Structure 1
């Protein structure tokens, strides 16, 4: 014969299960935040790649876009706070906006100036996300 636990015991069991769920959610959130911080730390610094390595990656991206009939492609996306002014100069298309770049976004721009601009490629940085009406991520686009 099976006994029926008291209502108090049932509520305690539910509370325990809910606590375990909340703990799992908190751990997953903390892991995601740590991964995000690591990613931001990584892109806030230059990649350390040579021009030849970057050119190989760029050629792959561009050739794939061309094979699909495209004349432009987004090559990178990053949070606006990697700009020294949180993307304001990019958003306003102010002269000298490129001086606000840091880390890999700056490296991409400098690579474009050295290697791709002389070959006739164009680059554009623009705000691509406006969650809640605020400046968000910046997209980097190459066109030809």
Structure 2
């Protein structure tokens, strides 16, 4: 015959289960934060790619967008804090905003100037989200119209 657990035993089981859930949630959060930090570390430094490698990637992205009838495409997204002013000059469309760029966002701008601008492409950096009304991520868009 099975015995019915006492209320105290049930409370202990529930507390143990809740503790395990909380521990798993903390581990998942820590893993997500570590992954996000690794991403930020990666994009805050030069990519190490050559112009030919970047041009090949860009040509695939542009060809796919054009085949879908688009005249522009978002090619990158990054947190505003990769700008020296947290994206303020980009948000205000102030002259010299490109000087605030760092890491891969700067590398993309420089690549555009060397390789894509002479071919008639335009580039635009724009704040694309505002969580809780605060400036958020910045998108990089290429256009050819």
What is the CA–CA distance in structure 2 between the aligned matches of 1:127 and 1:32, rounded to whole Å? 24
The TM-score, its normalising length taken from structure 2, stands at 0.99
Q: CA deviation at 1:10?
A: 0.4
Tell me by how many angstroms 1:5 deviates.
1.1
SS at match of 2:99: helix
Cα offset, 1:82, TM superposition: 0.2
**Distance in 2 of aligned mates of 1:19 and 1:134:** 34
1:81, distance to aligned residue in structure 2 (A): 0.2
Taking structure 1 as the reference length, what is the TM-score of the superposition?
Answer: 1.00
1:88, distance to aligned residue in structure 2 (A):
0.2
- Counting only pairs closer than 5 Å after superposition, residues 1-144 of structure 1 correspond to structure 2 as 1-144=1-144
Q: Secondary structure at the match of 2:3?
A: coil
Q: CA RMSD in A?
A: 0.3
Shift, 1:117, TM fit: 0.1
Q: Which whole-Å CA distance do the structure 1 matches of 2:73 and 2:134 have between them? A: 24
Q: Within 2, Cα distance between the matches of 1:42 and 1:77?
A: 13
* Paired positions, count: 144
Structure 2: how far apart are the matches of 1:128 and 1:88? 13
**Structure 2: which 5+ residue stretches go unaligned?**
none
Measured after TM superposition, the shift of residue 75 of structure 1 is: 0.2
Aligned-partner SS, 2:22 = helix
Separation in 2, partners of 1:106, 1:45: 10
Instruction: Give the superposition deviation at 1:55.
Output: 0.1
What CA distance in whole angstroms lies between the structure 2 residues aligned with 1:48 and 1:118? 23
